[in-house]
């Protein structure tokens, strides 16, 4: 007997969320017990990032949903480029505000010295170090991060977002997906060292982290529905992590206590710029098509 059409998207979303929680608990537990998000040389983090993807694949197997509905195509390339470039633009604006307003300085000379040593090319000037590292940041670091980001993208972008959009429409689906995605981080945000000693207190950082994830949820779903590709989500996640955490944060020199409250996803500047960017995508919500309901095969009694 076939699954009734009205219940299909919500059922798939419910099964997916339940499986994601069950699988994620296998990695939340050691992270909380050890107190380290990057415990086991980062294996806990990679495992956790792939829990949404594994849950999505299991959901498709259980409900007999065609895997093609997750959106494996990469063309047209313009949407992949937009997914890659949007976090770079957001970070450039956010940290441009931070540096211009004196909330942090540029560059952080300790970071420059470390980068110079890692290049191993002799006595390079600060500008030469940054210019040499920029293409490496823009390419190899994103590619390396993409492997773990794909796990989250298969789940949040490939399955959950489109299922909720088929049931609730774009706006509600984007906010619900972002909210679930944000709450999924709470165990490690509250009970491990995700926010380290250099971060603001959790009571300050947590609301801005949620704003950041909600904004990314809107951008992610818009790109997914407009392109039909889950790879836009993978590139969005990978680029956000690389450009923010590996480029702009390390290159920002502290200017007193205020810098910690301004930078990163735990500060207030980046989430607010991400929120404004999400609003711009939301204003173009009529450009995204209503996704079809995922089609399961005929299920026998």
Q: What is the mean pLDDT of residues 122-128?
A: 91
> Which residues are within 8 A (CB) of 237 and not within 5 positions of it... i.e. 6 or more apart?
145, 149, 152, 153, 216, 220
Structure tokens, 276: 């404004």
Q: Is the pLDDT score of 233 beyond 60?
A: yes
Q: Are 193 and 37 in contact (CB under 8 A)?
A: yes
Residue 115: exposure state from Cβ atoms within 10 A (0-12, 13-18, ≥19): buried
pLDDT of residue 63: 95
Q: What is the mean pLDDT of residues 20-27?
A: 98
Q: Is the pLDDT score of 301 beyond 90?
A: no
CA distance 31 to 71: 31
CA distance 277 to 215: 8
Q: What percentage of the chain has pLDDT greater than the value 90?
A: 89
Q: What is the mean pLDDT of residues 67-81?
A: 94
CA distance 114 to 251: 11
CA distance 173 to 160: 9
For 9, phi and psi rounded to 5 degrees? -65, -45
CA distance 34 to 112: 32
pLDDT of residue 290: 58
Q: Are 95 and 263 in contact (CB under 8 A)?
A: yes
Q: What is the mean pLDDT of residues 247-261?
A: 96
Q: How many CA atoms lie within 13 A of 137 on its CB side?
A: 21
Q: What is the mean pLDDT of the chain?
A: 92
pLDDT of residue 2: 30
């Amino acid at each position: 007997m076939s699954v009734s059409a009205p219940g299909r998207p919500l059922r798939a979303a419910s099964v997916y969320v339940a499986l994601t929680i069950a699988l994620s608990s296998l990695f939340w537990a050691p992270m909380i017990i050890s107190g380290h998000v990057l415990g086991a040389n980062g294996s806990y983090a990679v495992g956790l990032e792939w829990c949404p993807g594994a849950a999505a694949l299991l959901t498709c197997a259980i409900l007999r949903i065609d895997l093609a509905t997750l959106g494996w195509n990469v063309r047209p390339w313009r949407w992949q480029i937009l997914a890659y470039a949007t976090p770079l633009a957001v970070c450039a604006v956010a940290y441009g505000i931070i540096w211009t307003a004196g909330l942090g300085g540029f560059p952080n000379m300790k970071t420059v010295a470390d980068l110079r040593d890692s290049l191993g090319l002799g006595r390079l000037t600060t500008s030469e170090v940054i210019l040499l590292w920029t293409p490496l940041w823009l390419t190899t670091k994103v590619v390396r991060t993409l492997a773990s980001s794909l796990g989250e993208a298969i789940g949040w972008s490939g399955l959950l977002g489109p299922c909720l959009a088929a049931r609730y429409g774009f706006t509600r689906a984007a906010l619900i997906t972002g909210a679930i995605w944000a709450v999924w981080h709470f165990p490690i945000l509250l009970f491990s060292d995700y926010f380290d000693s250099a971060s603001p207190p959790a009571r300050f950082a947590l609301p801005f982290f949620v704003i950041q994830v909600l904004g990314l949820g809107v951008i992610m779903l818009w790109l997914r529905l407009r392109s039909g590709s889950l790879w836009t989500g993978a590139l969005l996640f990978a680029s956000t992590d690389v450009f923010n955490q590996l480029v702009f944060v390390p290159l920002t020199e502290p200017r007193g206590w205020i810098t910690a409250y301004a930078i990163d996803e735990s500060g207030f500047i980046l989430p607010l710029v991400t929120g404004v960017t999400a609003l711009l995508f939301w204003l173009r919500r009529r450009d995204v098509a209503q996704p079809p309901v995922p089609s399961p095969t005929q299920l026998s009694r």
